């Protein structure tokens, strides 16, 4: 019985072989972001897990560029010549191919995310809720203290006794 459990556990698929961050996969090895300058249409590509100093091909849509990985095996690339318009690039496939540290072929696939549109009304919701909560608590404290002070004054009033 124990031998069957050990063999079954050894043959069962392990979570370390699944793709995704935290599972040993490469889903967290590629990041695609829009540039920080809102006036330009730059796309930043960050990829890791390649052989240091090897040639890596980065392809956004139909246009591509060949770069060299740094000594740590990462690629930091800002693509501005490839980008023609935001609408044409959003959703475009990003393909990064090269060789891993042990020489095997390494391919990372991603897509360009939609560009941020700026601040919206939904970002004001927490501030509006905090302001409303502060106003309600101030009103409650004002009413509580005003009624409480009147009660305290009324409690200690007494009719003066006349001494005859």
Q: How far apart are CA 151 and CA 12, in angstroms?
A: 74
pLDDT, tens only, 4-30: 555 555 555 544 444 444 445 566 788
Phi and psi angles of residue 89, each rounded to the nearest 5 degrees, phi first? -90, -35
What SS3 string covers 45-113?
EEECCCCCCCEEEEEECCEEEEEECCCCCCEEEEECCCCCCHHHHCCCEEEEEEECCCCCEEEEEEECC
Residue 120 has pLDDT above 90, yes or no: no
Q: Are 56 and 66 in contact (CB under 8 A)?
A: yes
Q: 70 versus 61: which is more confidently predicted?
A: 70
Q: 163 versus 113: which is more confidently predicted?
A: 113
pTM score, whole prediction: 0.54
Q: How far apart are CA 134 and CA 2, in angstroms?
A: 63
Mean pLDDT, rounded, of the chain: 75
Q: Are 90 and 114 in contact (CB under 8 A)?
A: yes
């Amino acid at each position: 019985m124990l031998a069957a459990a050990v063999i079954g556990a050894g043959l069962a698929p392990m979570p370390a072989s699944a793709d995704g961050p935290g599972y040993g996969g490469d889903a967290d090895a590629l990041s695609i972001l829009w540039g920080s300058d809102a006036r330009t249409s730059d796309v930043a590509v960050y990829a890791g897990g390649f052989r240091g100093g090897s040639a890596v091909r980065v392809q956004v849509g139909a246009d591509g560029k060949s770069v060299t990985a740094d000594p740590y095996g990462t690629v930091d690339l800002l693509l501005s010549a490839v980008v023609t318009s935001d609408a044409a690039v959003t959703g475009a496939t990003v393909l990064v191919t090269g060789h891993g540290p042990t020489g095997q072929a390494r391919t990372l696939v991603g897509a360009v995310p939609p560009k941020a549109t700026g601040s919206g009304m939904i970002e004001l919701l927490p501030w509006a809720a905090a302001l409303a909560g502060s106003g309600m608590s101030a009103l409650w404290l004002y009413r509580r203290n005003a009624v409480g002070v009147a009660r305290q004054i009324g409690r200690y009033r007494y009719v003066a006794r006349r001494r005859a």
